[in-house]
Amino acid sequence: VESAEVATALAAGDVARIGNPDVSIPDSSVWLGVVKANEENGDRVQTSASVASSPVVLAMVRPAAEQAGWPDQQLTWGELLANYSASPVKVGIADPTRSAATMLTFGGIRAALGTGEDATVQLVGAVRLLAQRVSGTTEEVLGKLPQSLAELTQPTLGRVSAFPFSEQGVWRYNQTDPAVPLAAIYPGDGSPLLDYPFTTLAGDGITADQARDNRDAAGKLLEGMLGDSGRLALSAQGFRTEDGTAGAGLEPSSGVLAAKPAELPPPDPQAI
- pLDDT at residue number 108: 79
Report percent pLDDT > 90 for the chain: 47
- pLDDT at residue number 39: 66
**pTM metric for this prediction:** 0.90
Query: Ranked by mean pLDDT, which of 123-137, 205-219, 243-257 comes out on top?
Result: 243-257
CA nearest neighbour of 51 among 137, 168, 139 = 168
| pLDDT, mean of residues 23-45 | 84
- pLDDT at residue number 215: 87
Are 99 and 4 in contact by the 8 Å Cβ rule? The answer is: yes
Using CA atoms, how far apart are residues 194 and 205, in angstroms rounded to an integer? Answer: 32
| pLDDT, mean of residues 131-149 | 89
Q: Is residue 113 very low, low, confident or very high in pLDDT (cuts 50, 70, 90)? A: confident
Using CA atoms, how far apart are residues 69 and 87, in angstroms rounded to an integer? Answer: 14
- pLDDT at residue number 142: 94
Indicate the residue type of 210. Answer: Q
| pLDDT, mean of residues 76-94 | 73
Please state which of the ranges 26-35, 77-86, 105-114, 215-224 shows the lowest mean pLDDT: 77-86
For residue 247, CA distances in Å to 24, 52, 194 come to: 24, 11, 16
pLDDT over 90 (residue 125): no
3-state secondary structure of 232: helix
Q: Is residue 28 very low, low, confident or very high in pLDDT (cuts 50, 70, 90)? A: very high
Using CA atoms, how far apart are residues 36 and 44, in angstroms rounded to an integer? Answer: 8
- pLDDT at residue number 251: 95
What's the sign of the alpha-carbon dihedral 116, 131, 169, 149? negative
| pLDDT, mean of residues 196-217 | 85
Are 51 and 152 in contact by the 8 Å Cβ rule? The answer is: no
Residues 6 or more apart from 54 whose CB is under 8 A from it?
27, 166, 167, 168, 169, 193, 194, 196, 238, 239, 240
Q: Is residue 189 very low, low, confident or very high in pLDDT (cuts 50, 70, 90)? A: confident
